[in-house]
Amino acid sequence: MLGAVRILGIDPGLRHTGWGVIEAEGARLAYVASGAIHPPADGDLALRLRALHEALAAVVAAHEPDEAAVEETFVNRDPQSALKLGHARGVALVVPALAGVEVSEYSANLVKKTVVGAGHAAKAQIAMMVKVLLPRSDARTNDAADALAVAICHAQHRGARKREAMLLSK
């Protein structure tokens, strides 16, 4: 695809971080790759975050995205879990940024509304719509499908974000 932008979508988590890469050219979307990162479940938080960082850095190096999008954290009832998720989200934000990739953030509700049409869609609905929008996709986990949904959301909203940024900079 000439003029296509390669987008990395990330669904952060300390146990499972989904990632998905698509190419967008106008309204046309094409699947590139997807997967999930599973840092060690036990052990030091720092070592788990390091494993997540190294794996995401390998994804960025292998797929060379032009832009990245990360799902925002929803408020969790358990403060300790929310804090740990925040650490994983920080890694998800900084890895593409360190590679010089522009990073955007989207709420889970906006991702679901963009991809499914409803802000409270179930994971099965998201996976089904990702397959409809990206027929060649091979998302083997819900985390990978969610990450592809984040990338699709960014593809749909990136033009408006860029126009808004240009207006604000004037």
Q: Which residues are part of the catalytic machinery?
A: 11, 71, 143
Q: What strands lie across the sheet with 17-25, from one edge to the other? A: 28-37, 17-25, 5-11, 67-71, 102-106
- In the chain, which ranges are continuous DSSP H helix? 45-63, 79-98, 108-115, 123-133, 142-169
Is residue 69 within 8 A of residue 7, CB to CB? The reply is yes
Q: Give backbone dihedrals phi and psi of 48, rounded to 5 degrees, phi first.
A: -65, -45
The β-bridge partners of 36 are 18
Say how many CA atoms lie within 13 Å of 86 toward its Cβ. 8
Residue corresponding to tokens 């997807």:
34
Do the bridges between strand 5-11 and strand 67-71 make them parallel or antiparallel, or are there none, so unpaired? parallel
| CA separation for the pair 70, 150 (Å, rounded) | 7
